[in-house]
């Protein structure tokens, strides 16, 4: 194993160089075009194209008798394009949805390809054809001529993406703007599909028709976790794809019997798992942390609001007993005590021998939460969105989301439309409410 690792790292073996650079090209181009396929919601088109290409490979060999990669890729490209056209025809001329059309074309073309491969293997040239490598890929079979063809195709793909980047971006996010700008959305879409066809053709030999879709989708989805911007997503996806090719080649070189293509897919999946878990904004851990922070903030604000409302009801100022606060919140006393201690450490409440009371900081936050709750209740009620009996729960959910700017806007609306004094806003549900007739719905 050490000898194989040194042979890979020194790049002394020409076959290692061919496989490494070929895998890099496959991963990078797959990641690049995969972004557009994923954002265009064409993730499974690559899978359909790969399976649709198999009959083209077999027919190209039957017609020419040549195993040269340019000949086989030409046949695969023609067959793949026919598959795309058949998918579009089915969608346009029938009521069948795109996903069902993709499934039909994928299975039918793949079945035809298997039949043709079986026929070839049973013919006199079957033992010499080696076309079955297109099923699961055989990166180790790459030679210098194959690498040249793949390099030309990859360069053409990258050049087209650079030249038509703005058009592809408009096609994904605003096809109407693209049409108004004088471009045909249909032609731009066909160009994008053509590039995806070329990308699939580049990766067929190393990854195979079964797994090539993974090299299109997985790096792009992994990159999507890290950025909301298309340019950054393209760079990251290309990087993930290229690294998947490089590391996949390295791992497979350590044990020659391990095929390179499947290992590349596994490495890309590793990048996806890491991204899904640890991406700073969209990762699962980041989401879990935000949910915990939001839940803690809501519990804190509920506690402070309960304390503030209890203080309003007292005829004389005194510390609040833990049982009073727990009853107001509907919590168990143990949970209420834990929250009280947490807020005391944060400086929001002060503990006394006979109870708890708000600090100046806690009073300000409690006042803001109460004001947010009541303003939103009044807004829902006076805009006839909900009746007074149904505004409390929506206000509970929204009060934690309102910002000072939104509160100022609500105050302006209520003062202008209903003449409500925002400085004296009261509980909508009490009998002596200043702004309801007799405490009943107006």
The DSSP secondary-structure symbol of 436 reads: S
Whole-model pTM: value is: 0.77
Q: Locate CATH 1.10.3470.10 in the chain.
A: 2-282
Return the pLDDT at 274: 95
Grade residue 441 by pLDDT with cuts at 50, 70 and 90: very low
The answer to whether 399 and 372 have CB atoms below 8 angstroms apart is yes
Can you say whether the dihedral through the CA atoms of 416, 418, 423, 428 is positive or negative? negative
| Angle of CA points 369, 374, 289, to nearest 5° | 35
Range(s) within the chain of domains with CATH label 1.10.10.10? 286-358
- Tell me if 61 sits within 8 A of 121, measured CB to CB: no
Which alpha helices (DSSP H) does 314-385 contain, by range? 322-329, 333-346, 360-382
Residue 121 vs residues 73, 117, 227, 369, 402: alpha-carbon distances, Å: 19, 6, 47, 76, 70
pLDDT at 243: 93
Evaluate whether 220 touches 34 at the Cβ level (below 8 Å). yes
pLDDT in tens, 235-272: 999 999 999 988 988 888 887 677 788 888 899 999 99
Which of 40-49, 181-190, 306-315 has the least mean pLDDT? 40-49
**In the prediction, which pLDDT does 46 show?**
76
pLDDT winner (highest mean) among 66-75, 178-187, 225-234: 225-234
Gap between the Cα atoms of 377 and 387, Å rounded: 9
| Confidence check: pLDDT of 438 > 50 | no
Q: What percent of the chain has pLDDT over 90?
A: 22
pLDDT of 309 strictly over 60: yes
Fold designation for 286-358? Arc Repressor Mutant, subunit A (1.10.10)
Judged against a pLDDT cut of 70, whether residue 126 lies above it is answered with no
Residues 6 or more apart in contact with residue 68 via CB below 8 angstroms: 145
**Band of the pLDDT at 325, cuts 50, 70, 90?**
very high
Higher pLDDT, 385 or 210: 385
Instruction: Report the topology of domain 2-282.
Output: ABC transporter involved in vitamin B12 uptake, BtuC (1.10.3470)
Tell me what pLDDT residue 439 has: 40
| E strand or H helix at 350 | strand 349-352
């Amino acid at each position: 194993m050490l000898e194989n690792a040194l042979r890979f790292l020194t790049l002394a073996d020409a076959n290692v160089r061919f496989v490494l650079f070929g895998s890099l090209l496959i991963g990078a181009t797959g990641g690049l075009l995969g972004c557009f396929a994923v954002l265009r919601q064409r993730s499974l088109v690559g899978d359909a194209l790969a399976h649709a290409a198999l009959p083209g490979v077999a027919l190209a060999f039957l017609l020419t008798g040549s195993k040269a990669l340019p000949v086989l890729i030409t046949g695969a490209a023609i067959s793949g394009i026919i598959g795309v056209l058949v998918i579009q025809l089915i969608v346009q001329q029938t009521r069948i949805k795109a996903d069902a059309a993709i499934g039909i074309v994928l299975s039918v073309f793949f079945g035809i390809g298997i039949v043709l491969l079986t026929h070839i293997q049973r013919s006199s040239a079957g033992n010499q054809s080696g076309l079955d490598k297109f099923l699961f890929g055989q990166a180790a079979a790459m030679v210098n001529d194959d690498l040249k063809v793949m390099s030309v195709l990859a360069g053409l793909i990258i050049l087209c993406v650079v030249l038509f980047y703005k058009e592809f971006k408009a096609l994904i996010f605003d096809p109407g703007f693209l049409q108004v700008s004088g471009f045909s959305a249909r032609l731009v879409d066909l160009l994008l599909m053509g590039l995806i066809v070329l990308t699939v053709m580049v990766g067929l030999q190393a990854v195979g028709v079964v797994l090539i879709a993974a090299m299109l989708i997985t790096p792009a989805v992994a990159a999507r976790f890290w950025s909301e911007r298309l340019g950054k997503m393209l760079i990251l996806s290309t990087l993930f794809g290229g690294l998947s090719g490089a590391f996949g080649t390295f791992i497979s070189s350590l044990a020659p019997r391990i095929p390179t293509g499947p290992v590349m897919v596994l490495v890309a999946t590793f990048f996806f798992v890491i991204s899904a878990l640890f991406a700073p904004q969209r990762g699962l851990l980041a989401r879990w942390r935000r949910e915990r922070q939001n839940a803690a903030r809501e519990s804190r604000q509920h506690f402070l609001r309960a304390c503030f409302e209890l203080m309003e009801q007292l005829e004389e100022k005194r510390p609040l007993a833990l049982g009073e606060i727990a009853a107001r919140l509907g919590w168990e006393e143990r949970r209420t005590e834990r929250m009280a201690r947490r807020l005391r450490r944060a400086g929001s409440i002060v503990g006394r021998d006979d109870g708890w009371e708000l600090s100046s900081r806690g009073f300000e936050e409690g006042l803001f939460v109460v004001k947010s709750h009541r303003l939103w209740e009044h807004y829902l009620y006076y805009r006839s969105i909900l009746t007074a009996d149904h505004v409390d729960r929506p206000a509970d959910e929204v009060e934690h989301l309102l910002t000072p700017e939104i509160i100022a806007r609500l105050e302006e609306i209520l003062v202008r439309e209903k003449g409500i004094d925002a400085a004296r806003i009261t509980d909508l549900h009490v009998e002596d409410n200043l702004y309801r007739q007799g405490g009943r719905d107006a």
